[in-house]
Amino acid sequence: MNFEEYAAKPLLKAAGILIPRGKIAGTADEAEAIAAELGASVIKAQVPTGKRGKSGGIALCQTQGEAREAALRILGMNIGEHTVRQILVEEQVPIAKEFYAAVLNDAASKGPLLLFSSEGGMDIEEIAESHPDKLVRVSIDIRKGLDRGALSEALPAIDGLSSTTLSEALSHLYSVYTDNDAELVEINPLVLTDDGTLIALDCKFVLDDSGIKRQQNLSESGTPETLTAAETHAKDIGFRYIELDGNVGVLANGAGLTMTSMDAVRHFGGKPANFLEIGGEAYRLGKEALEIILAKPGIKSLLINFCGAFARTDVMVEGIVTAWKEINPSIPIFFTIHGTGAAEAVAMVKDQLDIEPYELMDDAVRAAVEAAR
C-alpha cells in the first residue's frame, strides 16, 4: 500500500527526522492561510505518482498571493491518471546539498537493505546509472538491527555534516522501516541546509500489504488501490480480479495458472477482457465469480481453466454450472479442468451443460480465442 507524501512524512517526524513545517490544503483559501503563517512557501500536488515537478505540480511561492495563484492552478490539474485534490503547503528550506536515503526489503540478501547516496534529488535509477560509485548499500540482519559502527564506516565523509548526525538520521529511518512493516521507505531528497541540519524534503512510504493486518491504524493513512467498482466488489468477496480491454474472459484458480491462461490467450492471438483468480478459501464461490466476469461489457467468450491442488475443481465447477444455467448467457464457454476433483467436475459440465471440456489447455484457449473473433 502506497502512502502519499503528506501521509508518509509524519512517520519520519515521529521517529525523530526533521521535516519542513507545513499543512495539507484542499482549497486555495486554505493554501493562502497556511502560506500566510509560513512566509515563503512551496506548494506540492499530492498524487500517488512520481514526476510531479516535471508536470508542473510543484511551485515555489514568495508571497501568500503567489501561493493562492499556485493553488488555484495546481488543484484540479491532471498528473498522469490522477486529478489533484490536495496540496501540501510547506515552508521553503535553504538547500546546501541533496542526498538520497532509503531502506527496503531486499530479495537478494533476504533482509533489509539501506541505501544512501551523496547525490540526491534525481531518480534512484539515474543515481545508480550516473554515480554508481556513490551509492552506499548496507545489508542488515533484521534480528540484530542496524549496526551503527558498520554504517558509519560505509558512509562517505561530507563537508559540513558530522558523521554522527548522518548515521543518527539513517538509524531513525531504519526505525521507521521496522516499526511500520515497510516494504520501502525513501527520502529523496534528504537535504543538508545552510545551517548544517538534515531535513527530509520528500518521502515515499510503501506498507507491506501482508503487514496491514497488524498495522490497522497506520493503513488508514495509505492510498487505497485504484479499482473499478467491479474490481472492488470482487476484492471484497476474496477474488483477485482485473479488468482489461479485450474480449476473452479468463477465469482460473491460483495466481500462476491465471497469469498463464492470459499468456496463452495472447499467444494464440486473442486479448483478455478480464481475469479472475478464484484461489484460496474463495474457491467455493464459483457462482459469484461467474456473475462478476460476465458483467464485463464486450466479453465474447469465456475460458475456464482449473487445475486443482488445494482448491477442489468439483466445488468450483458446481457453482459455475449452477450459475450458468440461471443466467443463461449468450456467449460460448470453454472448459479445461484437471487435478483435485476433476473427474466429477468434467462429468458435471458434460451432463448439465452438454459441453465437452478440453483435455489440453492450449486447445481450450485456441477455441475461446477463435469464438471471440
Q: Which residue in the set 73, 204, 233, 284 belongs to the binding site for another protein (CB under 8 A)?
A: 204
**Residue 238 near another protein by CB under 8 A:** no
Taking the C-alpha atoms of residue 285 and residue 67, their distance in angstroms, rounded to an integer, is 53
Q: C-alpha angle 237/241/246, rounded to 5°? A: 145
Say how many residues touch another protein, by CB under 8 A: 65
**Which CB, 140 or 151, lies closer to another protein?**
140
Using the contact rule CB under 8 A, the part of the chain among 69-77, 141-149, 192-200, 292-300 near another protein is 141-149
**Residue 105 near another protein by CB under 8 A:** yes
Phi/psi at 361 (nearest 5 deg)? -60, -45
**Residue 124 near another protein by CB under 8 A:** yes
**Which CB, 33 or 128, lies closer to another protein?**
128
**Residue 257 near another protein by CB under 8 A:** yes
Q: To 10 degrees, the CA torsion angle through 232, 240, 186, 156? A: 180
**Residue 259 near another protein by CB under 8 A:** yes
Q: DSSP labels for 188-253? A: EEEEEETTS-EEES--EEEE-GGGGGG-HHHHTTSBPP---HHHHHHHHHT-EEEE-SSSEEEEES
CA distances from 369 to 294, 302, 319, 348 (A): 16, 9, 24, 24
Q: How far is the CB of 135 from another protein (least distance, A)?
A: 8
Residues between 34 and 53 with contacts to another protein, criterion CB under 8 A: 50
Kindly state the cell numbers that stand for 362.
Answer: 492450449
Element (H, E) at 261: helix 255-267
**Residue 10 near another protein by CB under 8 A:** no
Residues between 144 and 203 with contacts to another protein, criterion CB under 8 A: 178, 181, 183-184, 186
Q: Which residue in the set 128, 295, 353, 367 belongs to the binding site for another protein (CB under 8 A)?
A: 128
Q: Which residues bind another protein (CB under 8 A)?
A: 50, 102, 104-108, 110-113, 115, 123-125, 127-128, 141-143, 178, 181, 183-184, 186, 204, 206, 208-211, 213-214, 242, 244, 252-257, 259-260, 262-267, 272, 279-280, 307-311, 338-340, 342, 360-362, 365
